[in-house]
Amino acid sequence: MKTDEVLAIFRQTEALLSGHFELRSGLHSDQYFQCAKVFCHPRIAEKLCAALADKIKAVGADRGVSCVIAPAMGGIVVGHEIARALNVLSIFAEKQDGALVLRRNFTIDKGERYIVAEDVITRGGRVQETIDIVEKAGGVVAAVAVLVDRSGGKAKLPYPTFSLLTMEPVTYEPAVCPLCKTGSKAVHPGS
């Protein structure tokens, strides 16, 4: 899928918002990707994630992968749909006492290969937490897959990273945010 097509889908589904937002990273921005709005449309979610899985398959990064793992909440649908496209298992990590952990009897098998999936990254913190879970349990991360890389490719992740859309909307540290200086209050609508 081409960038223009992906952006058109995000706009049509009202998943690309304009305003004053606080991102999960703590940064502020005038644009926000609310992927949950795309995921309201199962066939569109399937199409986007299948295109992302195709990018992974095109370079063979899916070889030997047995499972896709994603951080909850935003990554669950992405992980599930990529796992469907690759015909492998799908699990997720979720917050417990402020940290991502595996629950629900999900396990990481030592030596098995995993793809870490997420909806949107800015700095990649939740993806890195998920990578740490896999590595600590002895699993092997084969690749990272994200629908939207809003770092413009600058997020430093230790594995090949595939995205369907890479862009770099303007972000601000809260102390210097020009939107805050106008009296506007940042909102966090959730992924």
- DSSP codes of every residue in 59-75: TTTTTTEEEEEEETTTH
Backbone angles phi, psi at 130, to 5 degrees: -70, -40
Residues found in the chain: 191
At the topology level of CATH, where does 3-167 sit?
Rossmann fold (3.40.50)
> With 90 as the cut, is the pLDDT of residue 188 above it?
no
Q: Which of 32-36, 135-139, 171-175 is most confident?
A: 135-139
- Residue 189: its pLDDT value, please? 83
Q: Closest by alpha carbon to 109, among 138, 132, 84, 81?
A: 138
Element (H, E) at 55: helix 42-58
Sole residue written with tokens 């209050």: 185
- Residue 191: its pLDDT value, please? 58
Average pLDDT over every residue of 146-169: 92
- Residue 173: its pLDDT value, please? 94
> With 90 as the cut, is the pLDDT of residue 159 above it?
yes
As a whole number of angstroms, the distance between CA 150 and CA 29 comes to: 11
pTM, two decimal places: 0.90
Average pLDDT, the chain: 94
- Residue 70: its pLDDT value, please? 98
Instruction: Band the pLDDT of 26: cuts 50, 70, 90.
Output: confident
As a whole number of angstroms, the distance between CA 65 and CA 182 comes to: 49
**Residue type for position 161:** T
As a whole number of angstroms, the distance between CA 63 and CA 105 comes to: 25
- Of all residues in the chain, the percent with pLDDT exceeding 90 is 84
- Of all residues in the chain, the percent with pLDDT exceeding 70 is 99
Per-residue pLDDT tens digits for 38-58: 999 999 999 999 999 999 999
Average pLDDT over every residue of 132-159: 95
Reading the block at residue 119, the tokens are 């909806």
> With 90 as the cut, is the pLDDT of residue 104 above it?
yes
Upper half-sphere CA count for residue 151 (Cβ side, 13 Å): 17
